[in-house]
Amino acid sequence: MITLFFAAGDDNWNQYEGPLILALEKAKISATILTKSPANPETVDYIIYAPVAGALTDFTPYRNVRAVLSLWAGVEKLAPNKTLRQPLCRMVDPGLTEGMVEYVVGHVLRQHLGIDRYIINPNHDWVQKCPPLARERSVGIMGLGTLGTAVTTALRALNFNLSAWGRSPKPDLEMPYFHGADGLEALLSRSEILVTLLPDTPDTRGLLNAQTIAYLPYGAALINPGRGTVIDDVALLAALDQGALSHATLDVFHQEPLPKTHRFWQHPKVTVTPHIAADTRPLTSSRVVVENIRRDQAGLALLHQVDLARGY
């Protein structure tokens, strides 16, 4: 019998109770699940975590915890915690990945096909302007983690001309790939549509600023369902105002909810979506959590373990 501490809030527990118990039963794992801070933290074997209001912040008493299993894909609110010395695993949920692929593909096609000119056409202008084929449209992907890889697979199936950028080398990719500071300009300068799927780390914050946004082709479109901190909002608005960028579709922001007074809401070249590009699904994510518990109990390596030094 193992002890789990569900440190993810009452609202999440209401959604996860059934799926988590079902996943444990299917894996034939006997567990006691605590939903409140235990009187004796040393009895806890695994912590299932989400950084909700009032969430656990001091992991020091949980000396025997074998892993902290996050329900969130992003761990920027947890990885810097100096009391966290236990292994941390981020959430890689198949349902979340599918949702992200659908969001990105939909918005890439929107920009590629120029759909807005027909939807927003109050004067009923008869403008016959055919878009290029997908193979003639250059799409850049920033970030080739689980989500970025899934997105490139879907866009490749539609024949888009893809290239990607990351912070470290990735040999043997089936598309142009650039990495590090030296490769950033090369990727941006060829991206008519840019998709950012980077994590929030000290190295990525403000990566798209006045200098780097200027590398994009004139009239490029930006789609950001990754992390709001990657973009300098002031620089982005300036590029949109000047016409250097044709559109920005933003799902994530420095402050969430996005303040009602923020210019993004009113800007004619900005689409705001309220952090809905992808969400963790209790049914599928419970299976991921339980699979990691099963693996650890069997002496196997944990899945999706975070490098705390790098922050992802």
Active site annotation includes 205: no
Query: Which one of the listed residues 90, 190, 227, 247 is annotated catalytic?
Result: 227
- Spatial contact of 168 and 147, defined as CB atoms under 8 Å apart: no
Catalytic position from the list 85, 275, 281, 294:
275
Please say if 247 is a catalytic residue. no
**Token pair 């799927």 is at which residue?**
197
Residues with active-site annotation = 227, 275
